Amino acid sequence: MQIVVTGMGLLTPFGTDINQVFEKLLAQENAVKDIESFPCEDFPVRFAAEIQDFDPEEYIPDKKKVRQTARYIQYGMAALEGALEMASLPDDSLDPTRIGVLVGSGMGGIDVFQENVIRGHARGPRRYNPFFIPMAISNMQSGFMALENNFQGPNYSISTACATGNHCIIEGASWIERGLVDVVIVGGSESPINESGMGGFAAMKALSTWNDDMEAASRPFDRLRHGFVVGEGSGILVLESLDHAKKRGVEPLAKFMGGGMSCDAYHITSPHPDGEGGARAMQIALDQAQLLPEHVDWINAHGTSTKQGDLAESRAIYSVFKNHGNDILVHSTKSILGHSLGAAASIEAILLIETLRRGVLHPTKNLQDQDPEIKLSIVKGEPMEKKLEIGMSNAFGFGGHNSSVLFSNLP
């Protein structure tokens, strides 16, 4: 059975228009700015790839529902709108019990959690928002999407940190293969830019602290990299079988070739130094797709701009691709959009598909002095036009969660 993508929608600091977002990636425009959502003068990190001037009522017209949803849910609804429109959904000819939703989040409603803990502690237990729990729990993204669109099929969420979006894509495709659904909505959504999110990551020493040179802070594979830049947003894809898409008269955008998953079982936050788990995920994806390494044209790397992570991923790529590792092209979207955690993998899958469709690779921003231990052929400087057939996207998360997905152009 051939699984295809028939709809894509995203929300990034560059907006929701996929064409516009892609053009800004090609131009290496800046998504990293001073944080506006909370006072952060005393924080060690005062910048992020933040979504600013967002109006949730554009995507959730009911003001009451806006007040009852966390920011990450509102972000997901913004991305969902574009995906459904592209896939010609809702479709009255479809059985709603055969439409599933599998959209996850790494941190869920952390903003709502923070607000209510402070309020309850300061003003007493009767001051908690009655919608606190349904706003904060990470499965409510999938639940709210279904509720608003009458999607009655299987519905749950996956929360595997930065690997969330890829895990949702892989598992959602399996629902179609197992005959559980005809259509599945998959992806991830994240809104982590608040005191708790930024303070927690900063305390871990996971973030770049280049407050005086924030535009250059996210620099995957560069010798001076020293931490990631927090981003936020959402990426939503619509999957169905090729036969089902043809019956509906919907034009497929790309083919899902396969996905791989593994666990490092090494450390709560650090990857295995040799990238063993990431290598297994990539190899499993290739095996599932029945592809050889030389069939893959390029890799959208996890590429977060951390010392250990980038080096481990480069070693993983060489482990799997061997001699082809010297030739396969690699780039990192996080160099421009930052790291949107549970939303990153699905956003990057969408941009990988757009790259396939256009035949042009965006550069990795801020790569000025490539780490001599990382000998990959990394796209930098200017966009690269190239005939592309198959692309791989990696996503590795805290907890040792590794994932890799493959997409191809349709013949």
Is the distance from CB of 187 to CB of 168 less than 8 angstroms?
A: yes
Q: Specify whether the CB–CB gap between 155 and 336 falls below 8 A.
A: no
What SS3 class is residue 300?
A: strand
**Enzyme catalytic residues:** 162, 302, 339
DSSP 131-163: THHHHHSTTHHHHHHHHHHT--S-EE----GGG
Rounded to the nearest 5 percent, the helix, strand and coil shares of the chain are: 40, 20, 40
* Length of the chain, in residues: 411
390-397 and 401-408 beta bridge pairing? antiparallel
Non-local (6+) Cβ contacts of 179 within 8 A are none
Cis peptide before 90 (omega within 30 of 0): yes
What contacts 12, CB < 8 A, 6 or more positions away?
21, 31, 49, 51, 231, 233, 337, 340, 347
Q: Give the helix ranges, DSSP H, for 124-258.
A: 132-136, 140-149, 164-177, 195-203, 242-248
DSSP states along 3-32: EEEEEEEEEBTTBS-HHHHHHHHHTT----
Task: List, as one string, the DSSP characters of 22-75.
Answer: HHHHHTT----EE--SS--TTSS--EEB---S--GGGT---HHHHHTS-HHHHH
The CA–CA distances, whole Å, from 254 to 173, 236, 263, 306, 348 equal 13, 14, 28, 31, 14
Only one residue has tokens 């800046």, namely: 30
Tell me the two tokens of residue 33. Answer: 């700015």
* 365 vs 373: CA distance, rounded Å: 19
* End-to-end alpha carbon distance in the chain: 15
Q: Which H or E run includes 238? A: strand 233-241
